[in-house]
Structure 1
Amino acid sequence: MNLTLVTTLCFLLFSFTTYFPLPFVSSSFPSSPTDADLIVKDIHGNPVVPSGRYFIWPEFLVSGGGFRLGETENSTCPFTVLQDYSNLGHGLPVKLTPQNQPSSDDPITRGLHLDIAFDYKPDCAESSKWLMVEAENEFPTPWLAIDGTGKNVHDGWFELTRYKRSGYLIFFCYKNDGCIYLSRKNDKNGMRLVYETDGDGDALGAVFVKDDDAARARISSVV
């Protein structure tokens, strides 16, 4: 066996058996989020589940309080979903239900198609389910309301994605189109939550607070 062949065989043996550090071998293959990374969590790190009731607050409580219902335009029923101006307002708790697994209590994950509804319904409303509605010459962009307004309703669902340090963006997704995050614009009765179309709204980084954990959350260093 000549020297060249011996050298080649030794090199191949070295290549197949030598361990290379992980950063070396993975530099060309970006990692994907694990299942645990995709789980939506409340501000104390617990998974958000369909059976739970949660307040939705702005991240770090830096701009306003929780979500509630209010009257807008000429309505005599509190159909419109608003954010309280005061960061002391807890708002109303909501439930998040996956559209394709309504009977399961598996943790909510990012990108899941969701229905969101308040755990309270005014007598004048048909349901407390969140809807994206619009009406010509009433408000310049679609806004969030509950069922019964009589406005034009967009067909779609909600999704969550990570935002900044510990919050989530809430997206509304058209059934046959793309998704755009919820933002907020000042309304005389509170900060109206809108499906932003012109890019000048204030993106809402939201956190989830278990309904029986609001007092502890208020003094938590997380928010």
Structure 2
Amino acid sequence: MNKLTLLLFSTISLSLGQGSPDPVLDTDGSLLRSGTEYYILPVFRGMGGGLTLAPTRNESCPLDVVQADLEIDNGLPLTFTPVDPKKGVIQESTDLNIIFSALTICIQSNVWMLEEYEGQRIVTGHGVSGNPGVDTLSNWFKIEKYEDDYKLVFCPTVCDFCKPVCGDIGVTITENGRRRLALSDVPFKVMFKKA
């Protein structure tokens, strides 16, 4: 085999080995789709319900992403928008915006964003949708497989030269007892239920 044939064979083998990421599935086993409303629910019940928006600071606005207090509460419906808006199916480990669909008392976008607050990196609901790059770095999240379920991750790759602090999204308890989402060493195990 000459060098050119070997190089061509190696290149084809490598490109075939790089498949696209697996699609994310909802609780019915259906593909998670861009623009369709879902609830994000905890896999383990008994410690709060689905995800919603609520004030967690010393003021009524902005609203942050929290778990609903009651286990039976599904929270607010939300949609996922991948970094490539032409993709209709949400794939694992792919940058996406997460956007609550409901109206709130605060004038904010309801787009998830990671924000520094009192020494913690918390998930809040006043980010910017789309426009991937350095200016929107804090607005991009990922869904990754975690054991037999999923977890939410902050580790955006929408900027080639940026070095974001990456980590799993978990639940922290605030002074007023709210279960707020933030970067954590303990991932929040979730599932997605069609609204």
Q: Same fold (TM over 0.5)?
A: yes
> Which of 161, 172, 181 is residue 193 of structure 1 equivalent to?
181
- The 1-side partners of 2:136 and 2:90 are apart by 23
Instruction: Please show how residues 78-93 of structure 1 align to structure 2 within 5 Å.
Output: 79-93=63-77
Is 2:156 the partner of 1:168? no
Is 2:144 the partner of 1:158? no
Is 2:163 the partner of 1:181? no
Q: What is the count of residue pairs matched by the alignment?
A: 166
How far 1:63 moved relative to its partner? 3.0
- 1:133 and 1:154 in contact (8 A); partners too: no
Q: 1:154/1:107 Cα in 2 relative to 1: closer, same or farther (>3 Å)?
A: closer
Q: Deviations over 1:19-56 (max 9, x none)?
A: xxxxxxxxxxxxx7965x70100011000001210000
Partner residue in 2 for 1:45: 29
- TM-score (normalizing by structure 1): 0.67
- 1:80 and 1:192 in contact (8 A); partners too: yes
Q: 1:62/1:34 Cα in 2 relative to 1: closer, same or farther (>3 Å)?
A: farther
| Amino acid corresponding to residue 181 of structure 1 in structure 2 | D
> Which of 95, 115, 122 is residue 113 of structure 1 equivalent to?
95
- The 1-side partners of 2:38 and 2:44 are apart by 16
- 2:62 and 2:126 in contact (8 A); partners too: no
Q: 1:33/1:92 Cα in 2 relative to 1: closer, same or farther (>3 Å)?
A: farther
Q: Deviations over 1:48-97 (max 9, x none)?
A: 00121000001142532101111122222251111123211110011000
Larger Rg: 1
How far 1:126 moved relative to its partner? 2.5
| Amino acid corresponding to residue 204 of structure 1 in structure 2 | F
> Which of 126, 147, 151 is residue 108 of structure 2 equivalent to?
126
- TM-score (normalizing by structure 2): 0.75
Partner residue in 2 for 1:95: 79
Q: Deviations over 1:146-195 (max 9, x none)?
A: 118xxxx9824111110122x21111125522521101111225201002
Aligned Cα root-mean-square deviation (Å)? 2.5
How far 1:141 moved relative to its partner? 0.9
Partner residue in 1 for 2:45: 61
Instruction: Please show how residues 3-14 of structure 1 align to structure 2 within 5 Å.
Output: none
SS at match of 1:155: helix
Sequence identity, in percent?
26
- 2:93 and 2:144 in contact (8 A); partners too: yes
Q: What residue ranges of structure 2 are gaps of 5+ in the alignment?
A: 1-16, 128-134
- The 1-side partners of 2:187 and 2:46 are apart by 13
- The 2-side partners of 1:133 and 1:195 are apart by 10
| Amino acid corresponding to residue 163 of structure 1 in structure 2 | Y
| Amino acid corresponding to residue 28 of structure 2 in structure 1 | H
- The 1-side partners of 2:67 and 2:146 are apart by 18
